Chains A and B, each alone.
Chain A
Amino acid sequence: MELKLRKAGPIYVIDVIGEMDLYNAFKLKDLVRKMVDSNVASFVLNLEHVSYMDSSGIGSLLYVHSELKKKGLPLRIVGVTGSVRKVIELTKLMEYFPIVADLNTALQQLKPKT
């Protein structure tokens, strides 16, 4: 799994690329922890390029979601399709996660009000 960071104004987009499984799910948690420590305030998680996700992958999503919720930081998840969508549906978490249709919608929703 590879994680890439992009910046859209004050919003950080994390692109997850490859497999999200037992052996690397911790990477996403570590990254988000570090980002929260360095005062990043707005997150988008892009799962478009995730090729495989197991329950540990879901676990890391749950972790990120709850950690940000605790801190009151907004999160959107995009690119939920194919096998990733199936796994999330199986665990009945589609409604629980802040999933939106695409990156633009996410950025629009997170845009700071002027």
Chain B
Amino acid sequence: MNLFILWAKLFLSLSLLILLAALARRRMLPGLGLLAALFALLAVRDVAYSVFPLPLLIPLSDIPVLALLLVWSRVVTGAWPADRIYLGVNGAFLAGAVLALFFPLVTLNPFAVGLFLLADVVYVAISIGLVSQYTAQNAALIFRTRFILISALFISHVITLLYGYEGLWVHWVVLPLAYLAYGSTLLAYERFTNEEQEKSIQFFSSNLDSTYAFMENLGGAITAKIDLPRVMEIIIDSAVRGIGADAGAILMVDEYQDVLRVRSTYGIYPPLLPVPDLAKVRTSSLKQHFRDTPIPIGATVLGEAVKSGLSVMIRDCREDPRMGQNVKDDILFVSSLLAIPLVVGNRVLGVISALKRAENQHFTDLDFQHLKTFADYASITIDNLYTYLEVLEKRQMEKEVEIAAQIQKRLLPAELPQLSLASLAVHSLPARGVSGDYYDVLPLDGDKVALVICDVAGKGIPAAMVMVMIRSIVHLLVTPGRDAAATLTEINQGITGRIEIDHFATIGVLIYDQGRREAQYANAAHLPLMVYRHRTGTLGKLDAKGLPIGVERDASYELKNLHVEPGDVLVLCTDGIIEAMNADGQQYTLGRLKAVIEKSAAAGAEKLVEAIRRDVDAHVGAARQHDDQTLLLLQVR
């Protein structure tokens, strides 16, 4: 054996190792360690061959070399593990061969070994050759190197099979051929690294560009007035253009149901759910069908993305059973699909999806990354807009409530009438600037006076309008000849059907005859009349049956009569007084009200109301007043 050849080969494999080390320092790449092991194995083999020039050493050591190549291709591409079968079969063969070397029961025929090895080479060549450009990561690396690698291995093994390993020229020419193939693989690595870097730079700059463009467009859509449909349109347009897709759609989770609703589309996005034949006739009807058909969360690839919160990439829809409906050659055909859920915190707002529809056009990993980045921006934007719109709506409502407060202030009597045989006093305090409470005092002919207390549901202008209507009708209807129950019946008939039912009102009507000291009370679901008896010092309730005003046109109202004595106090009030709560959530009680009346009744109606007000205030303390308070009081003289 020529020592020079040994040195030459050793030099080759060592320089491959050095080249590899230089590469590895620049960037972490998959599979470099395996190649290092392969080169080291070659170096060890060459040294071993110079010491024990066994003819079988080279073909047998080629078995682990090929194994390393197979494992390498799997690590680089993440493709099907063809190496398991290879390792199993060859491991057994190698063990047998080593046994045969030490216990020469059987002589190994070099030609047979060569044939076996050639079969190995063919297997390796096929499995590396099968790596698909679409399904493998880093496929470009294998793509560029496999032709040289496979042919070099093939040629060298065929030649050694025909001429054996002993020939000098085999060592000079044939074996180094394989080394050169490895060298070219390393060079491919080098080029691949550079290109990847270039690509990622391009990716980030184009990402930045499209994000800027998106922000700019969005600015236009939300300056004057927020136009949510327009914003959705801009989002899907920018998303689709950014990655050169053919169609796109943005779907949002429904507020009430577990379904996705299509908010905006770009191009023709065919439905992923079964479509009736009629809708397939024209593209416009197909578009319409997609827009109008909600997708249950969990159904189709889009529903799955929302349910799991995970992004989906289907490079080739023909290879995915979920896309079964969309791979036939018809109007529904989809070639490649991306679906990215729009996530904020742990909430999934919806999903953005893009399609390639032309045959053999597929999305790349870069497109996928690009759309993911974009979806992040989009979800934050949408979430902000939702929040903003909600605040805006509330603000508008509050503004309306303020206007209503102005109207309503003018509805209340400027001052209470002076009566000869009774005294009146009132306290009214709106919660948060506006009241749903209305009260009125109307002197009637003779000695009679009518006291009205009313609470309209809801706030704002509609509630104020209802109050205006009630006030007009009350002023028209409260006449000496009409009792309290008849008054309520007619108010109800006048109002029901003319107001929105959700602005119903509760009204209590008290008509007091000073001369006879007779009172009558009718009640449309307001609080009962409270009656303080001076003689016995008791506080009782007087209620009368009846539905709220505005609910049923033919509702009837009960009339209750009672006789009073001098010093007795009649109290009409709204929930805000009796339900006034303190910081501990305790309500103001009737017992407490009675105590105040007992103590302060002698001071007169004005002072009594003031005393009650102060007592309620003392009870509430620092707690926020959460309902309007109105208290209308009549003291019999």
A interface residues (Cβ-Cβ under 8 A, vs B): 3-5, 22-23, 25, 29, 31, 54-56, 58-60, 62-63, 66, 90-93, 96
In the complex, the chain B residue whose C-beta lies closest to that of A35 is B256
In the complex, the chain B residue whose C-beta lies closest to that of A4 is B256
In the complex, the chain B residue whose C-beta lies closest to that of A55 is B457
7 residue pairs from A and B, CB less than 8 Å apart: A5-B256, A25-B458, A25-B502, A54-B627, A56-B458, A59-B458, A66-B501
- Checking A3, A22, A66 against B256 with a beta-carbon cut-off of 8 angstroms, the contacting residue is A3
In the complex, the chain B residue whose C-beta lies closest to that of A67 is B501
Within 8 A of A (CB), among B132-154: none
In the complex, the chain A residue whose C-beta lies closest to that of B496 is A66
Distance A25 CA – B525 CA, assembled complex (angstroms) = 21
Asked if A23 and B394 sit within 8 Å, CB to CB, the answer is yes
Among all A-B residue pairs, the 6 with the closest Cβ atoms: A59-B502, A55-B457, A92-B525, A59-B457, A63-B502, A56-B458
Contact count A vs B, C-beta below 8 Å = 64
Q: Which residues on the B side are within 8 Å of A4 (C-beta)?
A: 256
Distance A91 CA – B574 CA, assembled complex (angstroms) = 12
Asked if B501 and A91 sit within 8 Å, CB to CB, the answer is no
Asked if B504 and A62 sit within 8 Å, CB to CB, the answer is yes
Distance A25 CA – B575 CA, assembled complex (angstroms) = 20
> B508 at interface (Cβ–Cβ under 8 A)?
no
Within 8 A of A (CB), among B343-391: none
Q: Which residues on the B side are within 8 Å of A25 (C-beta)?
A: 458, 502
Interface SS of chain B: loop
Q: How far is the CB of B495 from chain A (nearest CB, A)?
A: 13
Q: Which residues on the A side are within 8 Å of B183 (C-beta)?
A: none
Besides A5-B257, A31-B256, A91-B506, 8 new A-B residue pairs in contact (Cβ under 8 A), listed by A number? A3-B256, A22-B459, A55-B456, A59-B500, A60-B502, A91-B504, A92-B547, A93-B547
Point out which of B436, B458, B545, B546 has the most chain A C-beta atoms below 10 A from its C-beta.
B458
In the complex, the chain A residue whose C-beta lies closest to that of B393 is A23
In the complex, the chain B residue whose C-beta lies closest to that of A95 is B547
Distance A54 CA – B525 CA, assembled complex (angstroms) = 15
Distance A29 CA – B627 CA, assembled complex (angstroms) = 23
> B552 at interface (Cβ–Cβ under 8 A)?
yes
Q: B458-474 vs A: 1/0 string, CB under 8 Å?
A: 11100000000000000
Distance A5 CA – B547 CA, assembled complex (angstroms) = 30
> B503 at interface (Cβ–Cβ under 8 A)?
yes
Asked if B256 and A55 sit within 8 Å, CB to CB, the answer is no
Asked if B525 and A93 sit within 8 Å, CB to CB, the answer is yes
Q: Which residues on the B side are within 8 Å of A22 (C-beta)?
A: 397, 458-460
Asked if A93 and B548 sit within 8 Å, CB to CB, the answer is yes
Q: How far is the CB of B482 from chain A (nearest CB, A)?
A: 23
Q: Which residues on the A side are within 8 Å of B547 (C-beta)?
A: 92-93, 96
> B329 at interface (Cβ–Cβ under 8 A)?
no
Q: How far is the CB of B118 from chain A (nearest CB, A)?
A: 67
Distance A56 CA – B436 CA, assembled complex (angstroms) = 11
Distance A66 CA – B503 CA, assembled complex (angstroms) = 13
> B63 at interface (Cβ–Cβ under 8 A)?
no
